[in-house]
Structure 1
């Protein structure tokens, strides 16, 4: 009887442990005609972008880079903020769980 209760308690404990979000690898394809200087993401509608995911890297037009989105699987809908070499910036919203890459095209 005691072992049945213990087994039941352990099973409930295991079921109660939440799944942890994992970082998401995301590919950026720059076909914009401009160098991409900075790339930021945030959870959709959060309004606060984190660190530049390119760090000190510049992504020239025609190049591809892979960035890591921290806790990317916790919230699939992400806002993107992209800064170009000419000072212009672009915003977009993507689902990083449905697509593994984002392609920038000439505007």
Structure 2
């Protein structure tokens, strides 16, 4: 009887622990014609994008594909993403990083 109660209590405790958000690896294909210099991401609708450049010290030349890791991305799959190019131009978009593991930057 005691072991049944203990097992039930442990099960309830385990169910009460929230799932930890997983990092999401996301492929970016740069078909924009320009080198991608910076990439920022935040949960959609948050109003401001994270200040950490996901490319860090790297760049993504035109015609290349690279992978970035969005820390805790599975917690909020819909993400606002901002791309900054070598000429200073920017592109923003909202994508679901859980439904699709890749994004292609097109020209213009």
**Fold shared per TM-score above 0.5:** yes
Question: With structure 2 as the length reference, what TM-score do the two structures score?
Answer: 0.95
Alpha-carbon offset, residue 4 of structure 1: 1.7
Alpha-carbon offset, residue 6 of structure 1: 1.0
Question: With structure 1 as the length reference, what TM-score do the two structures score?
Answer: 0.96
Measured on the aligned residues, the alpha-carbon RMSD in Å equals 0.8
Tell me the equivalent position of 1:85.
86
2-side partners of 1:104 and 1:2: how far apart? 60
Say whether residues 1:22 and 2:22 are aligned partners. Answer: yes
The runs of at least 4 consecutive aligned structure 1 residues that moved more than 3 Å come to none
Give the secondary-structure state (helix, strand or coil) at the position aligned to 2:56.
coil
* Number of residue equivalences: 107
Tell me the equivalent position of 1:98.
99
| 5+ long unaligned stretches in structure 2 | none
